[in-house]
């Protein structure tokens, strides 16, 4: 099982479409101009999609900030901070501190970077890690790697 689609209320579908295609890297799927909705592909092979709903629509008219996470490879995540910064996007770690370095949540374990879209929705790039979980750890990827390398 996997999540096929989710929807976000946005103030401006064109601006959000540009952000999610140019900054996040999603693919354009369809624009329903009669309802001010844009659909974007998340990942390959039409496996998942996101709907961006403008303020005149049923979902867009009830605005609430949301969070969504995109699974990426560790290599993509390691390059994401600098790439996003070059595009004017500020990244944060799990604790909300500005950084280009991914943080690690040990219980999963996973490495991630967080940033915000034009409407203030929290966006996350996440990569699951292969090491054994450690629920007591929350910190930087470099701290996690030092810790896990020294335990071998």
Task: Write out pLDDT tens, residues 54-65.
Answer: 999 988 888 899
Are the C-beta atoms of 49 and 39 separated by less than 8 Å? Answer: yes
Residue 11's pLDDT is 96
Q: Are strands 122-128 and 110-116 parallel, antiparallel or unpaired?
A: antiparallel
Is the pLDDT assigned to residue 69 strictly greater than 80? yes
Q: For the chain, which residues make up each domain, given as ranges?
A: 5-53, 67-150
Residue 148 has pLDDT above 70, yes or no: no
76-125 per-position pLDDT tens digit: 999 999 999 999 999 999 999 999 999 999 999 999 999 999 999 999 99
pLDDT band at 151 (very low <50, low <70, confident <90, very high): low
Average pLDDT score over residue span 43-63:
90
Closest CA to 104 of 114, 93, 96: 93
Work out the average pLDDT over 13-40. 96
Domains 5-53 and 67-150 share a fold: yes
**pTM for the full predicted model:** 0.92
Q: Kindly give, in sequence order, each residue whose CB lies less than 8 Å from that of residue 119, ignoring residues fewer than 6 positions away.
A: 8, 9, 10, 11, 16, 63, 65
Whether 35 has a pLDDT exceeding 70, the answer reads yes
Q: Does residue 36 surpass a pLDDT of 70?
A: yes
The topology (CATH level 3) of 5-53 is: 2,3-Dihydroxybiphenyl 1,2-Dioxygenase; domain 1 (3.10.180)
Match domain 67-150 to its CATH number in 3.40.50.720, 1.10.760.10, 3.10.180.10, 3.40.640.10.
3.10.180.10
Beta strand extents in the chain (DSSP E only): 5-9, 27-32, 37-41, 49-53, 67-71, 103-105, 110-116, 122-128, 138-140
């Amino acid at each position: 099982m996997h999540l096929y689609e989710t929807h976000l209320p946005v103030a401006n579908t064109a601006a959000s479409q540009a952000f999610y295609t140019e900054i996040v890297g999603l693919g354009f799927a369809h624009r329903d101009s009669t309802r001010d909705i844009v659909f974007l592909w998340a990942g390959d092979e039409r496996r998942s999609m996101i709907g961006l709903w403008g303020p005149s629509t049923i979902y867009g008219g009830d605005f609430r900030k949301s969070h969504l996470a995109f699974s990426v490879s560790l290599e993509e995540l390691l390059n994401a901070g600098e790439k996003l910064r070059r595009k004017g996007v500020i990244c944060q770690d799990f604790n909300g501190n500005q950084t280009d370095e991914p943080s690690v949540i040990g219980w999963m374990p996973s490495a991630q970077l967080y940033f915000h879209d034009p409407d203030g929705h929290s966006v996350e790039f996440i990569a699951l890690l292969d090491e054994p979980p450690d629920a007591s750890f929350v910190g930087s990827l470099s701290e996690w790697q030092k810790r896990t390398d020294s335990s071998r």
